[in-house]
Structure 1
């Protein structure tokens, strides 16, 4: 019987990249005869361009298909979580039709954490094995499934009284004490639904590895802690699922990096979805200029009300004027800095010997790419679970220093201080040592298969 896997990713590169990498691993390491990856998107051309920049040669056994949504993220209201959940709900009929059209019918499906409603579709179609891929940390999975184990009233009571959720066998998750959880009923409801659906799967894959999150993974293995919450559903750490630098890639940014001293450049990027306000963009520009440090900055047009605005941005700003930057900034920094519009080859930049630090929004893909390349970070979270990721890398792993926020704005003086700490001071040297040690554990994890060899043939 041919072993055919169907994998589904929700919108966004943070979900597409690990799903694609998992698909390649199933094909190359776990005996799959064919893998079909479905990428749900509200903009096929934009998704193709992003995937195309980092995709490998086409393989007839590895097929990528795009499912075009009729609704755009820009047309929906609410947080990023509620928007993406609604978009995946909208995609369910297409997902079902796509599964039914596959020949042979897939025997294994994998959906990401925002696509868990498709597990019911797979059950209806009598697909044998149903799995979830968590594209972020094991700690975030712990939060999601534990929230689902509580009723709404208990959850709200805990959040109001403690400002934190005490997860069995894990570090607590802190919530913003100034925000009333009652204002986030939709988000909490979606999170609880997702957590409840996760434990209907046959197994869960997580884009992490034991040495990165030993305490949390240990809790999942403990029947008295999160093992009890999972009700016997196994959790497999399969990370790091990241793209690696493409050898010999030609790009102007890489040509510029070739001319810079070793570990001298600060790379600044807030991911494919991150957006700063106009005021924050100005402060960041002034801060980078005042450091006197070499830098590469991937800039996007400011957004005032939504830090994830670039996720669904249909505009292309490769040629638009950069009039949101300080007057004369480009001229004053032309000898030490490089400003890039919209997109840059992040994997290759982080792998380059001249890159010495990364100012990051702490999306999980970016965190892992920084680790596998041994680059310390300045953690600057913007939305979703990025605050959890920032806490993990700064307080537990000690591979990052984290910005503070004064009245919602990180001032230029703090940016200068953070860059100096990362690039020049003893704290930065310790961070660099720690991240290079973690890099070794990632390399070891990549050599191992964390899914039992007979798992898919049972």
Structure 2
């Protein structure tokens, strides 16, 4: 082991994700990144998990990394767990959604706390400064983020615009606490979000904000793949193997939000109208839960018969990175959840953005500005209106036939991979972060 690796081995970091695959996935990829750099990592995951997919994901992670100390406990036991860690912790990294309950604990233990922000740097700029706007945000036509850009009302998360909304109150409470952390980690990279990252780190957005470390994209890991060869060769990968390069549209709107069945069926009509082969992951239930109804019941028997002639429809959790990396996939109809955006960037897949909730319009703006995706702004938020199949089919056709998008997507892929290579911007940021932890470790 080199002297640098020996030094890194003295760094002990605890990671504490919130529940849900959208939070768990980036935390486990961060854990793998740190252990690859010879840090000691403890993963504290809440019990019970909210879905079978999450439980299986954790089990595969623990099997792949037996050297990790994995603890599944409730929040009430957190103080004793952190205080008794051996060797003592150098730092504690928690989900931004947990900062309020965790901060008093880390302050009492004098334990350096870092935040993993699981969305874009653009969304971080809004989150960190939103307390300035909350009192009057429901009456504003736009929000001006110093040094970043103007965010139109139509892109502001809808729950922020509702008077006395619980979500708005949480942001009002959590946002101002970010300066109390020692640093903020984001799954992004300079070539993708240079402007917001520079503005955040220069103090233009919030003067007291700690350093923001862009350390992405988090690379998909081997442990995320199916447990055995038989599963890996089953549909949808087996079906994709039989398709022509770049011919398939992948359609998925993430694990947290189900769509109304009328809209689901219009998507089916749109896929048929486009004429392209497709792999469609249908979700009918909300917040990470497994689907209960047969996919034919959700879509309708007659439409399902038509769909089978040109594509594959599933309603179970899939390894999205496996799908996006497949040579037959030529486009991605996505809600623009940040994990999905970064996976598409890593694999160089063009995006047709269809934001549904929360931060997703801000993320779609990142994709659109970078030029590797398109976005129909008139489609609105989830439930605002029903987008008809003809519009959906036309948009898919535009994405799949646009050579400029393909070239831009390939360029984004190249810059994403350069960022995490030796000497790349994100790798430098990781080493700087570990260096900070070493200093904190030495000062204890």
Shorter-chain TM range is 0.7 to 0.9
Distance 1:270 1:321, change over 3 A: closer
State the match for 1:122 in structure 2.
106
Q: Distance in 1 between matches of 2:273 and 2:55?
A: 35
Deviations 1:244-301 (A, max 9, x none): 5759743321111111000000011111112110110111111112222100111122
Structure 1 residues 242-251 or 107-116, which shifts more? 242-251
Deviation at 1:353, TM superposition (A): 0.2
| 2:389 is aligned with 1:412 | yes
Q: 1:435 to 1:381 in 2, by over 3 A?
A: same
Cα deviation code 1:75-94 (max 9, x no counterpart): xxxxxxxxxxxxxxxx5423
* Alpha-carbon contact 2:49-2:55 (below 8 Å) kept: no
Residue equivalent to 2:438: 457
- Partners of 1:400 and 1:369 lie apart in 2 by 14
Q: 1:102 aligns with which of 79, 82, 85?
A: 85
The separation in 2 between residues aligned to 1:172 and 1:233, in whole angstroms, is 23
Aligned to 2:182: 202
* Cα distance in 1, alignment partners of residues 275 and 170 from structure 2: 45
Corresponding residue for 1:76? Answer: none
Displacement of 1:449 in angstroms is 3.0
Q: SS at 2:333's partner residue?
A: strand
Aligned-residue offset at 1:59? 2.6
Q: Establish whether residue 284 from structure 1 lines up as the match of residue 267 from structure 2.
A: yes
Displacement, 1:125?
1.8
Q: Is the CA contact 1:237–1:450 (under 8 Å) kept in the aligned structure 2?
A: yes
Q: How many Å separate the matches in 2 of 1:212 and 1:393?
A: 9
In structure 1, the residue matched to 2:64 is 58
Counterpart mapping for 1:314-325 below 5 A: 315-317=290-292, 320=294, 322-325=296-299
Of residues 262, 281, 300, the one that matches 1:326 is 300
Task: Please give the root-mean-square deviation of Cα atoms over the aligned residues, in Å.
Answer: 2.5
Tell me how far apart the structure 2 counterparts of residues 193 and 334 of structure 1 sit (CA, whole Å). Answer: 49
Residue number in structure 1 paired with 2:194: 214
1:445 matched to 2:419? The reply is: yes
d(CA) in 2 for partners of 1:196 and 1:446?
Answer: 31
Cα deviation code 1:331-355 (max 9, x no counterpart):
2232320011221221111000000
From 40, 55, 62, give the equivalent of 2:46. 40
What SS does the aligned partner of 1:147 have? helix
**What's the offset of the Cα at 1:385?**
0.6
1:323-402 pair list within 5 angstroms: 323-394=297-368, 396-402=369-375
Instruction: Answer yes or no: is the 8 Å Cα contact 2:246–2:329 preserved in 1.
Output: yes
Secondary structure of 1:211 counterpart: helix
SS of alignment partner, residue 69 of structure 2: strand
Q: Deviations over 1:26-85 (max 9, x none)?
A: 2222x42x2111223543662544415863743333233334xxxxxxxxxxxxxxxxxx
In the alignment, structure 1 residue 156 sits paired with structure 2 residue 140: no
2:404 corresponds in structure 1 to 430
Q: Using the alignment, how far apart are the partners of 1:210 and 1:177 within structure 2?
A: 23
- 1:234 aligns with 211
| Distance (whole Å) between structure 1 residues aligned to residue 291 and residue 389 of structure 2 | 28
Q: Which has the higher contact order (CA 8 A, sep 6+)?
A: 2
Structure 1 residues 174, 263: CA separation in 2 closer, same or farther (over 3 Å shift)?
A: same
Equivalent residues, number: 411
Unaligned stretches of 5+ residues in structure 1: 68-90, 304-308
Q: Which has the higher helix share?
A: 2
- 1:416 to 1:47, Cα distance in 2 relative to 1, 3 A: closer
CA contact (8 A) 2:255 2:283 kept: no
Query: Is 1:310–2:284 an aligned residue pair?
Result: no
Q: Identify the match of residue 94 of structure 2 among 111, 114, 132.
A: 111
Aligned in 2, Cα 1:207/1:321: closer, same or farther, shift over 3 Å?
closer
Q: 1:84 corresponds to which residue? A: none
Q: Which residue of 2 aligns with 1:25?
A: 33
TM, length-normalised to structure 1: 0.83
Counterpart residue number, 2:149: 171
